[in-house]
Amino acid sequence: MSLGALWAIASTMLLADMAAADEYTIAEGNASMMVAIGCFWCVEQAFEQYAPGVVEAVSGYAGGTLDNPTYRNHNGHYEVALIEYDPTKTSYEVLVNYAYHNMDPFDGTGQFCDKGRSYKPAIFYETEEEFLIAQDVLGAILESKGWNVDDIAAPILKRPKFWIAEDYHQDYYLKNPERYGYYKNACGRPKRLKEVWGEMEYECFHEEELSCFIDGNSTIGLLTPTIINADGDAVVAESNVKGAGAEVAARWAPWVAPTILVGGVLSIGGAIFLVYNKRRNMKEMDIHHI
């Protein structure tokens, strides 16, 4: 084969690799994973505030055939979050488990109030090892909960290219805490997660103390939250929090009771009212996040 032909083949392979590369660069020494759990605003908050070892959660699109998708035009893509993490402080296994605890695994039509292809849940893997880990995590959950695998509507899929979302979507829960809090609770995310996983399990996966990771048998110390990192070592479980914490929680908490009251009293009429208000709020920001 001629040198020119070899160069042409090598160039084609290089371009293919570049085309498949994520539209986001992970810092040296870090790793990443991708999840689809409905609205990417909520995924960012959940992972950045409460998941151990997470460096950054980035909103974006993946899984469709459209190049350079935008919020106005991402037909066929999932709304996803790319999770950048420190493998010395956490692992793919830990974060997949956390992802499941932030989704309704029984709803294949979307998540919470958001329905359609963009909002369907999925766990993504990059390597055969990650695929087996994701299967094991799901298997352990099914066994502990007594659930049937046939009822799980969140597939484990090969990881596609990640396209980063517009800047106004990034860290939305920090930039617009009141609007975000209204949306999150009006959409019924906390309420449904508590119904699926139980009140106590929801709480321990959504607190900065990370009590779900406390192991009395740990050699690190009694009642110290610990996890097994990517190297198989037991380390102290620490979340990033990213400067949000109690301030954000306090600012959106007043929306919870009115939302539940309206939904309970007005039933279907209340649901229509919430959707209407959500659309109106999004239009004010020129964002139609529903």
CATH of the domain at 270: 3.30.1060.10
pLDDT tens digit sequence for 95-121 = 999 999 999 999 999 999 999 999 999
Q: Is the pLDDT of residue 288 over 70?
A: no
Q: In total, how many domains does the chain have?
A: 1
Q: Residues 58, 60, 65, CA angle at the centre, nearest 5°?
A: 150
Residue at 100 is within a domain? yes
Is residue 214 within 8 Å of residue 223, measured between CB atoms?
A: yes
Q: Residue 1: pLDDT band by 50, 70, 90 thresholds? A: very low
187 an active-site residue? no
Task: Name the catalytic one among 39, 113, 204, 212.
Answer: 39
Angle in degrees, 0-180, between the axes of helices 92-100 and 128-145, rounded to the nearest 10? 40
Q: In this structure, is residue 217 part of a structural domain?
A: yes
pLDDT in tens, 167-178: 999 999 999 999
Domain annotation covers residue 233: yes
Query: Residue 7 pLDDT > 70, yes or no?
Result: no
Identify whether 289 is part of a domain. no
Q: What is the mean pLDDT of the chain?
A: 82
Q: Give the tens place of pLDDT for each residue, 217-254.
A: 566 666 789 999 999 999 999 988 775 543 444 344 44
The reply to whether 157 falls in a domain is yes
Least confident of 19-33, 134-148, 272-286: 272-286
Inform me whether the pLDDT recorded for 64 exceeds 70: yes
**Stretch (H or E) spanning 133:** helix 128-145
Question: Can you say whether the dihedral through the CA atoms of 246, 248, 249, 253 is positive or negative?
Answer: positive
Amino acid 59: pLDDT: 97
Q: Is 126's pLDDT higher than 90? A: yes
The Cα–Cα gap between 237 and 219 comes to 13
Domain assignment of residue 140, yes or no = yes
What is the pLDDT, as a whole number, of residue 277? 52
**Comparison of pLDDT for 256 and 28, the residue scoring more:** 28
Look up the domain containing 42 and give its range.
3-284
Residue 250 has phi, psi (to 5 degrees) of -65, -35
Residue 184 pLDDT: 96
Residue 290 included in any domain: no
Q: At 49, is the pLDDT very low, low, confident or very high (cuts 50, 70, 90)?
A: very high
Q: Which helix (H) or strand (E) holds 58?
A: strand 54-62
The letter for the amino acid at 112 is F
Stronger pLDDT, 73 or 182, i.e. the higher one: 182
**Assigned domain for 24 exists:** yes
